[in-house]
Amino acid sequence: MLNVHHSLLLSLTLFLLVSAQEEHQQDTPIARFQRYLRINTAHPNPDYPSAISFLKFQAQSIDLQARTLEFTPGKPVLLLTWPGTNPSLPSILLNSHLDSVPAEPSKWVHPPFSAVRSPDGKIFARGAQDDKCIAVQYLEAIRNLKAKNFAPIRTVHLSFVPDEEIGGLDGAAKFFPSKVFEELRVGFALDEGQASPGDEFRVFYADRSPWNLVIKAEGTPGHGSRMYDNTAMENLMKSVEVISRFRESQFDVVKAGDAANSEVISINPVYVKAGIPSPNGFVMNVQPSEAEAGFDVRLTPTADPDLLRRRIAEEWAPAWRNMTYKITEKGPLRDYMGRPLMTPTNDSNPWWSVFKQAITAVGGKLAKPEILVSTTDARYIRQLGIPALGFSPMTNTPILLHDHNEFLKDTVYLKGVEVYESIISSLSSFEEASH
C-alpha cells in the first residue's frame, strides 16, 4: 500500500509540475494578447467587467497604479499610472478603447472571439486590429522597459475607455473633460490608428467628425396607379438624387488624385424606410404617406459645418417639399479656442520630432501624416488643446477593422511592442516641452 501511495503521490507531483510548466509557457506576450481577444466586448452587450479585470491583473503584475472610474453606470474607464521621476512635467497619455463592433460568425473562418492562431501566425479575432492590439502592446512595452530598469521622467498614464465604437458619448466624451483627467496634466497623447498595407507606419494628426443625418418626407398617400405631386417617395428620391450629386463631386476629387478620401466630406446612404408591410413583403398598390432615409456623413476638420447645415436645409431636405431632417453630431469639430482639431506634424510641435525619432530608432519608417478617414476618441483629447496622434504599429497588414476575418500576425504584433518601447521611453524621457 505504501508503494502504491508513493507512486500516486509521485504521479500527482509530476502532473502538477508539468501543468505548472505548461501554464508558465503559455504566459507569453502572444498568449496574453489572445486572452484579451477572447473577451467578448462587442456591442450591444460588451463584457466590460471581464476586460477591466484582465487589464487590471496585467497592470498589477507590472506594478502599475490602477483606478476604475464610472462617469456613466456600467460604462467603466480604467486608468493606469506609471509615475515619473519628475511629476511636475506634463504627463504622457496612451489611450485605447475597450469595446468592439459586432461580428457575423458565419462569415469568419474561425469564431470571432476564439483568437485562433493559424500556422502562418495570423491571430483571428474581432478587435485584433481595432484596437485591442495597442491596449496590450502598451502593457507589454512597459513590462519590457521595467525589466530593463527604465525609469520614466514624465508620468505615463494609460486609459481604457468604453463605447468608442458608438460615439464615445458615455466614455471619452465624459472622461476627458472631467476633473480627474484635468489633474493628470497630460501634455501629449497617443490613440489608435490603422494598419498599413505597405512597409511604412501610418500616423494620423486629425479625424473626420461624424454626423448622422436622417431625412423624412411626407406626402399624399393613394393608389399605386395615381400620379401625385410631392409624394413622400418622390420627394425623398429627389433628395437622394441631389445628395448623390454632392457625393459624386467629392468623390471625383479623390478619383482625380487631388485629395485623399479623408480630405473630403463623405456622405453615404445607410438605410431607406418606407412602404406598408404585408405578409409577402410590402403592399405594392399603395403609395406611402411617409418615407425616410439615413446617411452617414463625415466632415473634415476644416469643413464649415454651418455651410453644410444650410445645404441640408435648402437643398437636401427643404421644408417646402414637406421634408424634415435631424442631425446627430457625434463629437466636436473645433477645440476650446475654435481651431480645427488638428495636431501639427512639423517643427512647431516638439512632440512630433520625438515621436519620429522613436520610430527611426527601431528601424521604422513613417508614411506621410494623414487625416483619419473615420473617427476615434482622439478628437475629444484634441478638443482640449492637447496634441494627439493616432497610431497603431501594423505594417504589411491589410486594413480589416470592422471586416470579416479580422486578424493580426504574431510577428507584426511583437514588432509593435518593440516600437512602443521606443516611443514610450522617448516621450517619457523628453524634458523640453511643456503644456
Q: What is the pLDDT along the chain (435 residues), one digit of tens a residue?
A: 444 444 444 444 443 343 334 334 479 999 999 999 999 999 999 999 999 999 999 999 999 999 999 999 999 999 999 999 999 999 999 999 999 999 999 999 999 999 999 999 999 999 999 999 999 999 999 999 999 999 999 999 999 999 999 999 999 999 999 999 999 999 999 999 999 999 999 999 999 999 999 999 999 898 888 888 889 999 999 999 999 999 999 999 999 999 999 999 999 999 999 999 999 899 999 999 999 999 999 999 999 999 999 999 999 999 999 999 999 988 898 998 999 999 999 999 999 999 999 999 999 999 999 999 999 999 999 999 999 999 999 999 999 999 999 999 999 999 999 999 999 999 999 997 554
Residue span(s) of the chain under CATH 3.40.630.10 come to 25-207+340-429
Q: Which residues contact 170 (CB under 8 A, 6 or more apart)?
A: 71, 72, 75, 162, 163
Q: What is the 3-state secondary structure (H, E, C) of 345-391?
A: CCCCCHHHHHHHHHHHHCCCCECCCEEECCCCCHHHHHCCCCCEEEE
428 secondary structure, DSSP code: H
Q: Do residues 82 and 64 lie in contact, with contact meaning Cβ atoms separated by under 8 Å?
A: yes
Angle at 240 between CA 340 and CA 265, to 5 degrees: 15
Residue 351 CB-density burial (10 A; 0-12 exposed, 13-18 middle, 19+ buried): buried
Q: Which of 195, 186, 210, 212 has the alpha carbon at shortest distance from 367?
A: 195
Catalytic residue flag (residue 241)? no
Q: Which of 317, 413, 418, 435 has the alpha carbon at shortest distance from 117?
A: 413
Determine the Cα–Cα distance for residues 189 and 171; give it in Å rounded to an integer. 17
Long-range contacts of 411-417 (CB under 8 A, 24+ apart): 411/121, 413/29, 413/30, 413/33, 413/123, 413/133, 413/137, 414/29, 414/30, 416/133, 416/134, 416/137, 416/392, 417/29, 417/137, 417/140, 417/141, 417/144
Q: Which of 312, 308, 300 has the alpha carbon at shortest distance from 375?
A: 300
Fold of 25-207+340-429: Aminopeptidase (3.40.630)
Can you give the pTM of this predicted structure? 0.88
Q: Which of 5, 163, 150 has the alpha carbon at shortest distance from 82?
A: 150
Catalytic residue flag (residue 304)? no
Cα Rg of the chain, angstroms: 26
Q: Do residues 209 and 331 lie in contact, with contact meaning Cβ atoms separated by under 8 Å?
A: yes
Cell digits of residue 17: 509540475
* Run of H or E including 328: strand 323-329
Fold of 209-299+303-329: Alpha-Beta Plaits (3.30.70)
Residue span(s) of the chain under CATH 3.30.70.360 come to 209-299+303-329
| Active-site pick, 131, 140, 163, 164 | 164
Q: Which of 407, 399, 423, 424 has the alpha carbon at shortest distance from 133?
A: 407
Q: Which of 54, 101, 48 has the alpha carbon at shortest distance from 77?
A: 48
Cell digits of residue 328: 446627430
φ, ψ of residue 58 in degrees (nearest 5): -65, -40
